[in-house]
Amino acid sequence: MANVVLGAQWGDEGKGKLVDILAQESDIVCRAAGGNNAGHTIIANGVPYDFHMLPSGLVNDSCISVIGNGVVVHLANLFSEIEANVKKGLKVNPERLKISDRAHLVFDFHQVVDGLNEGALGGKSLGTTRKGIGPTYSSKMSRSGVRVHHLLNNWDDFVTRYHKCLDGLQKQYGFEYNADEELKRCKEYRDKVRPFVLDSIPYVHDAINAKKNVLVEGANAIMLDIDFGTYPYVTSSNTGIGGVCTGLGLPPRKIGKVFGVVKAYTTRVGAGPFPTEQLNSVGEHLQTVGREYGVTTGRKRRCGWLDVVVLRHSHMLNDYTSMNLTKLDILDQLDEVQIGVAYVHNGKRYTDFPADLDMLTDSTVEYETLPGWKSDISNCRKYEELPQNCRRYIERVEELLGVPIEWIGVGPGRDAMVVKVPASVSQASEAKKQKVN
């Protein structure tokens, strides 16, 4: 069975930190979707690591990392990330990193097109990371994409495919491009990447059959999912549990636990609706105290209260076994904390996240207000050590969602995690499941 860590909001919930902790008991950590639009920060033994393409399991020496078929790979960015981490002392070599031969390649022209698309949208741009993610998935879906195995097999065939992909985009977007230069770089990366590449499908299946511990590291998050997120303000892949199946060739019956990572408030980078956003001193507090800057683009993250409408949608789609509530320490100094529980539109109350974003523009949010705890929780390591009002907040979130919170993040470091398995809620949700069945 493979366990899975997934982002439950708009990204940057702290998936990397949980993966790093779970990687200590894992043999393999896999990425299934996205590319270097992701940015996962980990602080292990006081050393900060930023991962974009590489799975966060690499910090753990005994863990092998797999980049699955659903991931899109920019080779130059991948190797510069590898080099930066090798400099920090991590061992990143073909024994420890495996790349699927079916993964699609991101070319520099995909990044050019990403910029052109954004430019054409003007004031209505999506705020993409400009890493070429959308255009690469578009090439994949329109069947003109180029995969890793194409690069490794027949060079002339690769060049033909490369030109077909580029020509199509040039016709559509009309931009000048130096293909020869990029092809020269591709030839260099061809030999460099070869030892890392394999058919990741039997590799992962054999590991599961041999009872190895396999962990999947979600990237991006469910509200950025191409189907279920705030379309079109989303990324271009399936970022939820469905993307884990297709991005690694994992059938649902091979999936064990699904851990949802939930920031104790909400953030979002880039444009798009954000019902509980706080464009006021609360938002500024969360942004500054939480150091909410994008790891990939350096942009300020937009901040607001926790949104249970989003989380209910997220849980319906991914069915979390338990959750990791992260960055709870960032709420420490607030007098009160709020939780968005419903949207109200034209006098009607909604508890399901709508498909139509226009509906959100003139909705209001119904909040529940809880008292703050006004004390520093960053040194707490046991659930009982957390202040009463803090526990009340945690337990209210569990109650609203019917999912147990198994871990509580109280600081960025690997050790700053409180483990809690609330038997009452687990039993309640188990009993509820049995009743439904």
| CB proximity list for 422: less than 8 A, separation 6 or greater | 395, 398, 404, 405
Q: Are 411 and 418 in contact (CB under 8 A)?
A: no
Nearer to ligand IMO, 175 or 231 (CB): 231
Q: Omega into 371 within 30° of 0, i.e. cis? A: no
Residue 346 is encoded by which pair of tokens?
């034209």
Question: Closest by alpha carbon to 12, among 409, 415, 335, 416?
Answer: 409
Residues interacting with Mg ion, by CB under 5 A?
Answer: 12, 39
Nearer to ligand IMO, 130 or 257 (CB): 130
Residue type, 196: F
Q: Is 119 exposed, middle or buried (0-12, 13-18, 19+ CB in 10 A)?
A: exposed
Examine residue 208 and tell whether it contacts ligand GDP (CB under 6 A): no
Residue 399 is encoded by which pair of tokens?
């109650």
Q: What is the DSSP letter of 323?
A: E
Size of the site for ligand IMO (CB under 6 A): 22
Pick out residues in 320-379 that bind ligand GDP (CB under 6 A).
326-327, 329-330
150 counts as catalytic:
no
12 counts as catalytic:
yes
CA gap 409, 395 in Å, rounded: 15
Examine residue 39 and tell whether it contacts ligand IMO (CB under 6 A): yes
Residues 126-155 as x/- pattern, contact with ligand IMO by CB under 6 A = xxxx-x-xx---------------------
Q: Is 104 annotated as a binding residue?
A: no
Of the candidate spans 36-44, 115-123, 168-176, 193-201, the one that interacts with ligand IMO by CB under 6 A turns out to be 36-44
The partner residues of 66 in beta bridges, in order of sequence, read: 30, 98
Pick out residues in 373-412 that bind ligand GDP (CB under 6 A).
409-412
Pick out residues in 314-373 that bind ligand IMO (CB under 6 A).
none
CA gap 248, 217 in Å, rounded: 11
Q: Is 296 annotated as a binding residue?
A: yes
Of the candidate spans 32-40, 194-202, 240-248, 329-337, the one that interacts with ligand IMO by CB under 6 A turns out to be 32-40
Q: Of 98, 140, 150, 315, which one is the catalytic site residue? A: 140
Measured in whole angstroms, how far is the alpha carbon of residue 430 from the centre of its chain?
Answer: 27
Alpha-carbon separation of residue 333 from 313, 377, 409 (angstroms): 29, 10, 16
Examine residue 412 and tell whether it contacts ligand IMO (CB under 6 A): no
Annotated binding site: which residue ranges?
11-17, 37-41, 129, 143, 220, 235, 295-301, 327-329, 409-411
Q: Where in the sequence numbering do the catalytic residues fall?
A: 12, 40, 140
Residues that bind ligand IMO (CB under 6 A): 7, 11-12, 37-40, 126-129, 131, 133-134, 219-221, 224, 235-236, 269-270
